[in-house]
Amino acid sequence: MIKAKYKKYILNFKNPSGTSRGVLRTKETWFIILEKNGKTGIGETGLFRGLSIDDIPNYEEKLIWACNNINLGLVKLLLELNEFPSIQFGLEQAFLSLKSENKFNLFPSEFTKGNRAIAINGLIWMGEKEFMKNQIKEKLKTGFSCIKMKIGAIDFDAEIELLKLIRKEFSAKEIELRVDANGAFNPKNALDKLKKLSELDIHSIEQPIRQGQIQEMTTLCAKTPLPIALDEELIGVFSSEEKRKLLETIQPQFIILKPSLIGGFAGSTEWIKFAEEMNADWWITSALESNIGLNAIAQFTYSLQSKLPQGLGTGGLFTNNFESPLEVKNGTLHYNPEKIWNFNL
């Protein structure tokens, strides 16, 4: 018999981090801990307040239910918790962790042996122009060749100026530029903004308009001079039929997968299958999990062998993250097997 419990944990940002939804100072997360025959398994259920579809008042009750019914087994639990993607993801990790020789090594590979790394983008948070400029300089100095800038919070022209500064010094061959609007554009002016951005050799834009505007997004993807990546648009789409239909309708150039928000490994794998059938490419991004969830996402991502830079550089954002073997060096994420985990709740 498996015993299960859960714990809540509050992550504190080193610096308040700006998005188009406001400034983040803390991030709430939860852990599911399994025990069987003296072994332990750990999974992070990375609830994202204000963004997760399962951000509902009885969230904790669902965690209690999952722990009380843990011996139903993973397959049945995932079906029962179809509308709680963050709990699905936590359970997937915890069961894999329980089975593994080393509870933190969920997908043994050349990555977890320390022989291979994952290319990642350097994330630029929203804020005053000078703050964003300093972040860009720092990322370039530390060896990133792919920069992702969150836009939509300050004046659009000021954001264009920042992007022009990068392009003045570095060509598209030297630095890949991605932008993430988090749905900040208006459908009426979005195409004009995309045209201005496309003049700067931008790789792609994530979620230019708010999710749920299917017809407007379909039109944008058909007319855009700049590849569009769906991100928030995938949240809350549960059935296989709905997933396929959404991608067939919108025909995006890319999709972005956040396992905590879309049903973990199983949900991500299904989205990838449908995207590849339609010749859309994809990459995987963490959603401000602690190093427990980030580690699981990184190991899963490496197993898929994507050639694109991934969005996995968020481990250093918090003052009270758990010490882990994950290290960012020269724009890549490494797993240093000589470093020891320090996971204490």
pLDDT per position as a tens digit, 265-321: 999 999 999 999 999 999 999 999 999 999 999 999 999 999 999 999 888 899 999
Both tokens assigned to 13: 């940002």
Q: Map 15-74 to HEC letters.
A: EEEEECCEEEEEEEEEEEEEEECCEEEEEEECCCCCCCCCCCCCHHHHHHHHHHCHHHCH
CATH number for 182: 3.20.20.120
Check whether residue 162 and residue 61 sit in a common domain: no
Instruction: Assess if residue 125 is contained within a domain.
Output: yes
44 and 185 inside one domain: no
- Do residues 174 and 319 share a domain? yes
pLDDT at residue number 154: 74
* Residue 15 belongs to some domain of the structure: yes
Whether residue 65 is found in the same domain as residue 137: no
- Residue 18: the pLDDT is 66
Same domain, 34 and 123: no
Number of domain units in the chain: 2
CATH number, domain containing residue 48: 3.30.390.10
52 and 41 Cβ atoms separated by less than 8 Å: no
* 156 and 67 housed in the same domain: no
Give buried/exposed letters for 186-218 (b at 16+ CB in 10 A, else e). eeeebbebbebbeeebbbbbbbbbbbeeeebbe
| Mean pLDDT of all residues belonging to the chain | 94
Where residue 331 falls (left for φ over 0; alpha for ψ -120 to 50; beta otherwise) is: left
Domain range enclosing 8:
3-99
Active site residues: 150, 258
Tell me if 328 sits within 8 A of 311, measured CB to CB. Answer: no
- Asked whether residue 247 is domain-assigned, the answer is yes
- The residue out of 54, 72, 99 marking a domain boundary is 99
What is residue 20's predicted lDDT score, i.e. its pLDDT?
A: 57
Instruction: Indicate whether 136 belongs to any domain.
Output: yes
The predicted structure's pLDDT at residue 65: 98
**Predicted TM-score (pTM) of this structure:** 0.95
d(CA 326, CA 333): 7
Are residue 163 and residue 215 in the same domain, yes or no?
yes
**Residue 267 in contact with residue 86, Cβ under 8 Å?**
no
Write the CB contacts of 292 (distance below 8 Å, at least 6 apart in sequence).
Answer: 31, 42, 43, 44, 93, 322, 324, 343
* 262: DSSP letter: H
Q: Examine the domain organization and report whether 242 and 168 are in the same domain.
A: yes
- Among 19-23, 69-73, 296-300, 303-307, where is mean pLDDT lowest? 19-23
